[in-house]
Structure 1
Amino acid sequence: MTLAPHRHQTDDLAECGWRTEEIVQPDGSTAFEMIPLTEEEFLHPEEGYHLPNSTFHDRIAGDIKDILTRRYLNDPTTAVFGDLIIRWEIANFKDHCPDTCVVFNVQEKDRVRTEFLVNSEGTRPCLVVEVVSPRYRKADREIKVRQYARAGVQEYIIFDRRRVRNQVLDEVLGYRLIDNVYVPITPDDEGRILCETVGLLVGLHDGEVVVVDAQTQERLLRASELEQWAIHAQQQAAQAQQRATQAEEEKSQAEQRASEAEQRAAQLAELLRSQGIDPIEFKVNSED
């Protein structure tokens, strides 16, 4: 099998994403050609489509999914999915594949799924999170706003990074479904969006996801931060163990010196007695 980029669109593959198409060669052999995605295919991907991404996209999408997954780790009825095709099963309405979504009232949360059938599952995503793909910014920021509202998603959060006047601008946008219409969520003073569905404040700081529990104000750590914390805790534990070992060694050495001193004192007393000298009187006289 041969896999080759589309002959006219090689430079667009990373920016557009791609799908593969089977091509029969003149000699009868089969090749699979990489075809850039159209905007429609980006909006409604199927299994096997390769969506465009970037290091920013991967980091943000990965961090938000990881944080949400850990938040609901012990909740058997709340699932967090990433890059899973959602079959809305709505007439004349196409499917989506959000970067991350949260679904309440799920049965068999850990069952392997290649797609999520809304009617069959009896529930739908309550929160969808998308990280904007620059080539399809309008799709993420405008078209999907209308489509996720129609799909009945209670909240839609968008992370975006773009360049304005040679400066990098990070944005977090949010929409909440009210009377079947999305209403923009006003950010707080720190630019964070309140997600009522999951009880979290989400934002960006220096290009990194910031997630805070809206009730406790506790910040939920990213996986990289947890790893750093674990390493630091291990280092502290190792240092504490080293100090304890050193203290134990010093204690043992002190006890050994005390034992040796007692032995020498006993030997001296025995020597004095052998010479007819009372060790106690000898000690008193020595002190005088």
Structure 2
Amino acid sequence: MQPNAAPVGSDASPHGWREVPVRYPDGTLGYREEPLAPDAFLDPQEGDHLIQGTEHDFCVHDLAVRLRHHFRNDPTRAVYSDVKMKWGIAGLKEPAPDIAVIPDIRDRDRPRNSFRVPSEGTRPSLIIEVVSPYQDGDETEKVEIYRRAGISEYLIVKTFEPIGVVSYSIQGYRLIGGGYRPLRPDARGLLRSRTTGLDFGTEPGHRGVVIVDAASGETLLDAAALEDLWRQEAALRWQAEQARQQEIALRKDAEQQRQQEAALRKDAEQQRQQEAALRQAADARADRYARRLRALGIDPDST
């Protein structure tokens, strides 16, 4: 670490740090870790390192995996995580939402360093933020930012640890007439996202987040279950590929055996033809010899 660098994870940078280029007294160039301001997560810049915590990372990863899998066959809908939004609205801060579900997107899988709403011609229909214990703006400043940006639905997933076990709660907003109105849970305790056709809630005991396909009533598998499923599918594909390779090898062996048998039959036929030719030549010699004996008045049968 260079001089004057803020120790990562120390009290000097409780919210995170930014690498700033600096020239040191000896003339060398390097980077200094500059602590981030408490509201840096409202408008993060390239090179910012925000401290979120393991539970935040786990929850965001879980939600992103589930939603991407759900929309995997819809090339017009993207699910991005931690991608900075460029609203094209003067003076409006531009966060990098934990989860952004974007409809009507073109070239979904093209790499993007940021999402520029004016040039993309679309914007997120649903944004989900997972509240970090280090920041509290998700429930205050970001509500106003996403309202002004025209985000149809905004969900906030809160984690808390009242008895040493992580629990979850969800609240949400829907844009109506230019203002956000709180979403009310249904009889099952779920919040409906109309833009995605999904219901969001918490597991019994608030031990995790539940996502339900409103049309089918099926609960989306969580990331751990999906990864197990993918491993099983990968194992089945590997087994199928092994069986296919074995079948190819058996067909190749059978073809080689057929060719060998054909070659043996060809050799046997050639040998038969050679033997027939030898017999024919021997018969011809014997016939010539008999004719010469008869010409000399000798009975061939008496010799």
Distance in 2 (CA, whole Å) between partners of 1:230 and 1:124 is 31
Query: Are positions 1:16 and 2:20 aligned together?
Result: no
Which 5+ residue runs of structure 2 have no aligned equivalent?
240-303
Q: Secondary structure at the match of 1:50?
A: strand
Amino acid aligned to 1:23: V
* Candidates 173, 188, 191, aligned match of 2:189: 191
Q: Is the 8 A contact 1:9 1:36 kept in 2?
A: no
| Mapping for residues 130-209 of structure 1, pairs under 5 Å | 130-137=129-136, 139-163=137-161, 169-205=167-203, 206-209=206-209
Amino acid aligned to 2:226: L
Look up the match of 1:227. 227
Shift of 1:59: 1.2
Shift of 1:3: 8.8
Q: Is the 8 A contact 1:193 1:202 kept in 2?
A: yes
Distance in 2 (CA, whole Å) between partners of 1:129 and 1:151 is 14
Query: Are positions 1:96 and 2:91 aligned together?
Result: no
Q: Is the 8 A contact 2:201 2:209 kept in 1?
A: yes
Q: Is the 8 A contact 2:18 2:36 kept in 1?
A: yes
Q: Secondary structure at the match of 1:53?
A: coil
Distance in 1 (CA, whole Å) between partners of 2:166 and 2:186 is 21
Shift of 1:161: 1.2
Amino acid aligned to 2:59: I
Shift of 1:207: 3.3
Distance in 1 (CA, whole Å) between partners of 2:23 and 2:174 is 48
Per-residue deviation, residues 16-62 of structure 1 (Å, max 9, x unmatched): 12211122211112231222221332110012211222221111111
The two structures have a TM-score, normalised by structure 1, of: 0.73
Amino acid aligned to 2:42: L
Distance in 1 (CA, whole Å) between partners of 2:184 and 2:3 is 47
- Cα 1:133–1:8 shift into 2, 3 Å: closer
- Cα 1:177–1:3 shift into 2, 3 Å: farther
Distance in 1 (CA, whole Å) between partners of 2:55 and 2:85 is 24
Amino acid aligned to 1:6: A
Per-residue deviation, residues 95-121 of structure 1 (Å, max 9, x unmatched): 111011011111111111111111011
Distance in 2 (CA, whole Å) between partners of 1:189 and 1:3 is 58
Q: Is the 8 A contact 1:2 1:30 kept in 2?
A: no
- Cα 1:20–1:8 shift into 2, 3 Å: closer
Distance in 2 (CA, whole Å) between partners of 1:88 and 1:175 is 19
Which 5+ residue runs of structure 1 have no aligned equivalent?
239-288
Distance in 2 (CA, whole Å) between partners of 1:39 and 1:177 is 27
Q: Is the 8 A contact 2:15 2:35 kept in 1?
A: yes
Distance in 2 (CA, whole Å) between partners of 1:113 and 1:24 is 31
Per-residue deviation, residues 205-257 of structure 1 (Å, max 9, x unmatched): 3532211111211011022112335667879xx9xxxxxxxxxxxxxxxxxxx
Greater alpha carbon shift after TM alignment, 164-173 vs 147-156: 164-173
Distance in 1 (CA, whole Å) between partners of 2:140 and 2:196 is 23
Q: Is the 8 A contact 2:84 2:96 kept in 1?
A: yes
Look up the match of 1:266. none
Shift of 1:203: 2.1
- Cα 1:57–1:166 shift into 2, 3 Å: closer
Query: Are positions 1:211 and 2:217 aligned together?
Result: no
Amino acid aligned to 2:89: I
| Mapping for residues 96-135 of structure 1, pairs under 5 Å | 96-135=95-134
Q: Secondary structure at the match of 2:134?
A: helix
- Cα 1:4–1:133 shift into 2, 3 Å: farther
Choose 1 or 2 for highest CA Rg.
2
Amino acid aligned to 1:115: S
The two structures have a TM-score, normalised by structure 2, of: 0.70
Distance in 2 (CA, whole Å) between partners of 1:130 and 1:188 is 21
Q: Is the 8 A contact 1:175 1:182 kept in 2?
A: yes
Q: Is the 8 A contact 1:47 1:85 kept in 2?
A: no
Distance in 2 (CA, whole Å) between partners of 1:106 and 1:182 is 24
Q: Secondary structure at the match of 2:69?
A: helix
Identity of aligned residues (%): 38
Shift of 1:166: 7.8
Q: Is the 8 A contact 2:6 2:12 kept in 1?
A: no
